Structure 1
Amino acid sequence: MSTYAVTHLDTGKTFTRRTLFVNPHHDVSKIWQSDVNPAVEAFHRQLPDYGETQLHSLPEVAAELGFAHVFVKDESTRFGLPSFKILGASWAVHRAVCQRLNLPSSTSLAHLQEPLKHGADVRLVTCTDGNWGRACARMAKQLGVAITIYVPAFMVDYTQNLLQSEGAEVRVVANGTYDDAIAAVKRDAESTGALMVMDTSWEGYEEVPGWVTEGYSTMLHETDRQVAALTSGRPPNLVVGSVGVGSWMHAVTSHYKALNPGNKVVTVEPDTAACLKESLHTGQLTSVNTSDTIMCGMNCGTPSAIAWPVLKDGVDMAVTVTDRESHESVKYLHSQGVNTGPCGAATLAALRRVCANDMLGQRKEDVVVLFSTEGMREYDVPVLSAPIVSTYSDKSAR
């Protein structure tokens, strides 16, 4: 099995880890509760461009790996944006602005816009690797409020321009990582009173990230309905999703473990930013040094505090993949008509790694869902033992 090196941020110590880790903290006795809030999906139906995203069947992959079904949920067209993030961002921004204006959370989008048009002073502040910030900026534009977005130094001009096209003020943290951008957001909010809308949490900041996680439930219920329609009612029993700070997989893990505690949950991270996997190794929330990756939406060094207990108890296996593995999966999924980027395609790379190491045992009856969280974007192609020599941009997958 392949290995990679990871360095802890607090101590500077470096460890060699295998790329696949069976979670020893997985709590098989835990009773999972389903906290379905019907208000979330009802709210999303009010947004412009509402519609279900596509679920693709991958029969070749199912036959190759020995599953009954493999599906991939394609989030490249969610509300006209190339990522699922708008689901969590829209609900969290809505709840946070309602709270700031002392309005009930049941306030409709149209009614919330009224006080904002007539002088209510609200400025949002957040940070991003890309898709989260764009989703928040889109929601801010719909509400007519200002938003400031802090971004790490490695963010390319193309992504910054996308944020600015949504009306956001973009501030680059000089020589800064994603964690440095989080610190900049905290300073801004503390000094100006701006309203933080973050999808990661820490002690004392849990409410808004909790709303983010709740917002993702719309996609999970939608996926279950689509899978049932294609399998004569059989539900998924193995799901694979990507981890940045962990808010998304918090939602996935809670949902599928509540449906059936025997469902398997597999997470995937870049081998350059495996903060959740390292936390599972150590048994406690652990921050790691990160470096550049084409899976830039997953380039995060610290898991969300509210996500960590759920992931620690519920994740079955944690996997890391290389940029090259992600790129090869992008190419394959494009050949199957799936519009995905490196973060989304990493789930297929992770599934193949798990199966190559025969970690699942008997699986011919399993129904698998891979969550592809982003659409195609340009990125530098990684080449084994050689410098980057080209840029990948499959126009047919747009």
Structure 2
Amino acid sequence: MTNPLSVFQHTPTGHVPAFLSLAATETAWAFHHTLPDYAPTPLVPLRGWAQAMGVKAVFVKDESPRFGLNAFKGLGGIYALARAAGQVLGLPEDLTWAALQTEAARDALAKVEFVTATDGNHGRGVAWAARQLGCRAHVYLPAGSVPARAQAILDAGAAQAEILPLSYDETVQYAARMAEAHGWQLIQDTSWPGYEAVPTWIIQGYTTMAREAADQLAQAGHPRPTHIFLQAGVGAMAGGVLGCLAARYGDQAPVFVSVEPEDIPCIYRSALAGDGQPHTVAGEAGTIMAGLNCGTPCSLTWPVLRDGVTWYFACPDAVAEAGMRRLGRPLPGDQAVVSGESGAVTAGLLDWLTTRPDLADLRQRMGLDGESVILLFSTEGDTDPDHYRQVLCD
């Protein structure tokens, strides 16, 4: 049978950049712990599924409860906005939430406006963070975004959430132009030459999720996972989590797996090119994985993914839907995890790898066996509620 997945295997070098070292990410970790609404999200063990797959353990980090935002993105948004606000106020890097809440700080920050482009979750995180700081946020979404995602951004506190007739990359460019025209601060979760400080903060903010997961795994009796599956859009989250956990586990680093939609797999295509450079995938994608619908790799995290990933996958939408059903309708004894299209694609890939006869050889090559401890991140809940209900009813 023909392999239904696009896959590329690579031998990683394991290099971790300085901005993702344990010391460098400690500031974000410490800042998050000063937030009144901070709490670690659950790490859900799925013992029934692990037994059915013939692996030792599988855990899902459920990010849907994060700050009430139904996704992990608030971690990066609040840290980046706090650092930007700290610069406005002349505060040190190791700032606290209390330092941003003084009367003088609130008065100064009331004049600051932020802008971003988003497929949904990042914009919601930025809108929420701006509201916490007493600032205004303008958010632009690409063509094809469902109105529910724009409304969720408004509900989170945005002054504006507009769907544009543009691709994601074009929407990013538009937001950058609006920032320049109006004097707004651009808060974007991807980078390019000359725009690197803010995305560095965002990526460092995401590492709190990784540190939580590693601590929770250790508490569950697993000093390290053997395999970590990561969703890659521009690669900011995937690169941040990979770098943080590679630094933590050192020579015992697990096998990292990058997962993207087949319509617009910029990380997969960049790896496949073999020249070490990031490559843009042009055109408009029709994938249901809105959070991964990105054509240009983040320049900061592409080297991390290039040097740290062993398996790069580009998957059809059916994989994401399989993951949504697997997590939402679990085996007896397992806890249900409500996971949206982008959040569930890694679970769907794992499900395909362990149930389809045509992928048995690939499963063996990946070392998915009775000793495997697998970590997945469900990065979002049902951010498109209508489609989520439709998939689970199929």
Which segments of 5 or more consecutive residues in structure 2 lack a partner in the other structure? 331-335
SS of residue in 1 equivalent to 2:145: coil
- Match of 1:166? 156
Would the aligned equivalents of 2:192 and 2:298 in 1 still touch at CA under 8 Å? Answer: yes
Q: Could you tell me which of 296, 302, 305 is aligned with 2:299?
A: 305
1:340 aligned onto 2:330? no
- Match of 1:124? 114
- Match of 1:240? 229
- How many pairs does the alignment contain? 371
Q: Which runs of 4+ in 1 moved over 6 A?
A: none
**Offset from partner CA, 1:302-341 (integer Å, 9 cap, x none):** 1100011111011111112222221122112112311211
- Match of 2:372? 366
- Match of 1:199? 189
SS of residue in 1 equivalent to 2:70: coil
Describe how 1:41-80 pairs up with structure 2 within 5 A: 41-80=29-68
Shift of 1:393: 6.8
- Match of 2:333? none
2:280 partner letter:
S
SS of residue in 2 equivalent to 1:305: coil
Shift of 1:392: 4.2
SS of residue in 2 equivalent to 1:228: helix
**Offset from partner CA, 1:233-264 (integer Å, 9 cap, x none):** 43112100101111111112112322134410
- Match of 1:320? 314
Shift of 1:379: 5.7
- Match of 1:157? 147
Which segments of 5 or more consecutive residues in structure 1 lack a partner in the other structure? 5-17, 383-389
Shift of 1:293: 1.9
Deviates more, 1:327-336 or 1:345-354: 345-354
Cα distance, 1:183–1:331 mapped onto 2, change above 3 Å: same
Shift of 1:32: 7.2
TM-score norm. by structure 2 comes to: 0.87
1:271 aligned onto 2:259? no
SS of residue in 1 equivalent to 2:144: coil
Structure-2 separation of matches of 1:157 and 1:102: 38
1:286 aligned onto 2:279? yes
Structure-2 separation of matches of 1:38 and 1:64: 38
Would the aligned equivalents of 1:379 and 1:392 in 2 still touch at CA under 8 Å? Answer: no
Would the aligned equivalents of 1:327 and 1:381 in 2 still touch at CA under 8 Å? Answer: no
Would the aligned equivalents of 2:322 and 2:351 in 1 still touch at CA under 8 Å? Answer: no
Cα distance, 1:27–1:272 mapped onto 2, change above 3 Å: same
Structure-2 separation of matches of 1:362 and 1:392: 27
Structure-1 separation of matches of 2:381 and 2:299: 28
- Match of 2:76? 88
SS of residue in 1 equivalent to 2:260: strand
1:240 partner letter:
F
- Match of 1:377? 383
- Match of 2:390? 391
TM-score norm. by structure 1 comes to: 0.86
Would the aligned equivalents of 2:55 and 2:368 in 1 still touch at CA under 8 Å? Answer: no
Deviates more, 1:313-322 or 1:259-268: 259-268
- Match of 1:22? 9
**Offset from partner CA, 1:160-194 (integer Å, 9 cap, x none):** 11111223133546420110111011111222221
- Match of 2:165? 175
Structure-2 separation of matches of 1:253 and 1:21: 18
Q: Could you tell me which of 35, 38, 56 is aligned with 2:22?
A: 35
SS of residue in 2 equivalent to 1:239: strand
**Offset from partner CA, 1:88-130 (integer Å, 9 cap, x none):** 1111110112113322223332332333532442111111000
Deviates more, 1:282-291 or 1:164-173: 164-173
SS of residue in 2 equivalent to 1:267: strand
Cα distance, 1:3–1:299 mapped onto 2, change above 3 Å: farther
Cα distance, 1:56–1:171 mapped onto 2, change above 3 Å: closer
Structure-1 separation of matches of 2:144 and 2:163: 9
**Offset from partner CA, 1:123-172 (integer Å, 9 cap, x none):** 11111000100011001001111111111121121111111122313354
Structure-2 separation of matches of 1:314 and 1:119: 42
Would the aligned equivalents of 1:378 and 1:392 in 2 still touch at CA under 8 Å? Answer: no
**Offset from partner CA, 1:250-284 (integer Å, 9 cap, x none):** 11211232213441000111111211101111132
SS of residue in 2 equivalent to 1:94: helix
Cα distance, 1:215–1:57 mapped onto 2, change above 3 Å: same
Cα distance, 1:333–1:31 mapped onto 2, change above 3 Å: closer
Shift of 1:51: 1.3
Q: Could you tell me which of 212, 235, 244 is aligned with 1:255?
A: 244
